Amino acid sequence: MKAAAEMYAPATSRRSFDVERVRADFPILNQTVNGKPLIYLDNAATSQKPAKVIEALRRYYREENSNIHRGVHFLSQKATGEYEGARKKLCSFINARSTGEIIYVRGATEAINLVAHSFVQEQIKPGEEIVISEMEHHSNIVPWQIVCEKTGAKLKVVPINDKGEIILEEYEKMLTPKVKFVSIVYISNSLGTVNPVKQMIEMAHEQDIPVLIDGAQAVSHARVDVQDLDCDFFVFSGHKMFGPTGIGVLYGKQEHLEKMPPYQGGGDMIKSVTFEKTIYNELPYKFEAGTPNIAGAIGLGYAVDYLNDINLDDVYIYEQDLLAYATEAVKKVDGLRIIGTARHKTAVVSFMLEDVHPHDIGTIIDSEGVAIRTGHHCTQPVMQRFGVPATARASFALYNTRDEVDALVQSINKAKKVFQ
Ligand code: C6P
């Protein structure tokens, strides 16, 4: 079985990564905040958008706006072509088998709810179990609690160790015949841990248990291949991968999607309607009721182009270096404790500074132009696990630099002085 590091290790970088050129693609970075150059380190919450994506949205609304799949007129055909073209790009981006396996949704949250409602809730019986981990985002906890409330199923939680890694022995023990579904995060948004999901999927499949992978924090940091992972479902949000908000993807194996009932009813998800009987549309349209986020999907297609041009293998190598640099730099701040020290991490540094509340750190840091997130990051059980009310979280993306890390450290030191 492969370890997470092997799964993530790309072939050697094909060319050098020019971060200044990358930064020039993101107009928002070129501004001052509170009189200081903006240093945006809140990428796990949402990433910034390259000019290519912004321009695609602008062009769509200025020149192409029209409803899709409904008109024979020029604009409708054009919008439909772009919308479906983006689906093709997404299909090859994650290496799905066909575009029928790519369902447009609002984001990772909606995708998980769709699977909970139309796949798990449909089949699970009282006393049967759903397995998640202790490091899940609320989006990968609450939908399962709702399913359990409605069906009498039970939620089982795999514990994590003090580094913030899933305890695989506990996971293995939990995979009993009672378990009917596993839903696990690929990369933790509050700890940065990269989970060995390929191995975890294999372990679940040995017991015939289907697996959903929450890839919300994965797709902008490393290459994802759903066929290689062999996951049953994979979800992600466009806005965390340099695309627009309000658009995301549910990937599902066709064999599952075919059997699942629609999540919502309405226009476009039907082949024919009479009062006696409605025939549902084929995949993926069966799950896309109503006028969708057309501009969002098109913009997301341009975000995929952007990532393909830039090469995610190079991004991975660059960000690993930046994470190592940032980890060493913040560790030098007296009294700072990093929460989440897994062996395999991506670009997140969550920390506590003595007994200063993270919100206070965030406010001081903001006055220096540095944007981080403070709070529980929608992972309250992680905060409980580490015995903290909240953390300060710096999360990096492909446009961040070592100089920005230095500025972060300076501003943390400033916050420290204020509160001493
Ligand atoms: N995490 C963060 O600041 P949506 O809101 O549907 O786009 O994504 C939800 C979600 C699901 N899974 C993981 C691992 C996530 O990180 C998120 C969103 C943001 O960390 C906002 S809370």
Residue among 139, 212, 247 whose CB has most ligand 1 atoms within 8 A, to mutate: 139
Q: What 3 state SS string does 352-412 have?
A: EECCECHHHHHHHHHHCCEECEEECCCCHHHHHHHCCCCEEEEECCCCCCHHHHHHHHHHH
* Amino acid 3: pLDDT: 38
**Does 108 sit in the ligand 1 pocket, CB within 6 Å?**
yes
Q: How many whole angstroms from 109 Cα to the centroid of ligand 1?
A: 8
pLDDT in tens, 320-350: 999 999 999 999 999 999 999 999 999 999 9
**CA 379, 380, 383, 385 torsion-angle sign:** negative
pLDDT surpasses 70 at 16: yes
Atom of ligand 1 nearest to the CA of 378: 22
Atom of ligand 1 nearest to the CA of 245: 7
Q: Measuring from atom 8 of ligand 1, which residue has the nearest CA? A: 108
Q: Measuring from atom 21 of ligand 1, which residue has the nearest CA? A: 45
Of residues 78, 58, 60, the one with CA closest to residue 70: 78
Pairing of strands 336-339, 39-40: unpaired
Q: DSSP letters of 242-279?
A: TS-TT-EEEEE-HHHHHHSPPSS-STTSEEEE-SS-EE
Q: DSSP letters of 156-182?
A: EEE-B-TTS-B-HHHHHHH--TTEEEE
What is the percentage of the chain residues whose pLDDT exceeds 90?
95
**Does 132 sit in the ligand 1 pocket, CB within 6 Å?**
no
Cis-peptide, bond into residue 284, ω within 30° of zero: yes
pLDDT in tens, 122-179: 999 999 999 999 999 999 999 999 999 999 999 999 999 999 999 999 999 999 999 9
Residue-range domains of the chain with CATH: 4-49+311-419 (3.90.1150.10), 54-308 (3.40.640.10)
* Amino acid 70: pLDDT: 83
C-alpha gyration radius of the chain: 22
Are 382 and 189 contacting, i.e. CB atoms less than 8 angstroms apart? no
Residue 80 to residue 284: CA distance in whole angstroms: 14
Atom of ligand 1 nearest to the CA of 136: 14
pLDDT in tens, 216-232: 999 999 999 999 999 99
* Amino acid 5: pLDDT: 43
Active site residues: 378
* Amino acid 238: pLDDT: 98
**Does 378 sit in the ligand 1 pocket, CB within 6 Å?**
yes
pLDDT surpasses 90 at 53: yes
* Amino acid 366: pLDDT: 97
Q: How many whole angstroms from 202 Cα to the centroid of ligand 1?
A: 25
Q: How many whole angstroms from 71 Cα to the centroid of ligand 1?
A: 35
Q: How many whole angstroms from 166 Cα to the centroid of ligand 1?
A: 19
Residue among 105, 109, 212 whose CB has most ligand 1 atoms within 8 A, to mutate: 109
**Does 216 sit in the ligand 1 pocket, CB within 6 Å?**
yes
pLDDT surpasses 80 at 32: yes
* Amino acid 420: pLDDT: 79
Q: How many whole angstroms from 216 Cα to the centroid of ligand 1?
A: 6
Q: How many whole angstroms from 138 Cα to the centroid of ligand 1?
A: 8
Backbone φ and ψ of 278, nearest 5°? -115, 135
pLDDT surpasses 90 at 199: yes
Atom of ligand 1 nearest to the CA of 109: 6
Are 266 and 290 contacting, i.e. CB atoms less than 8 angstroms apart? yes
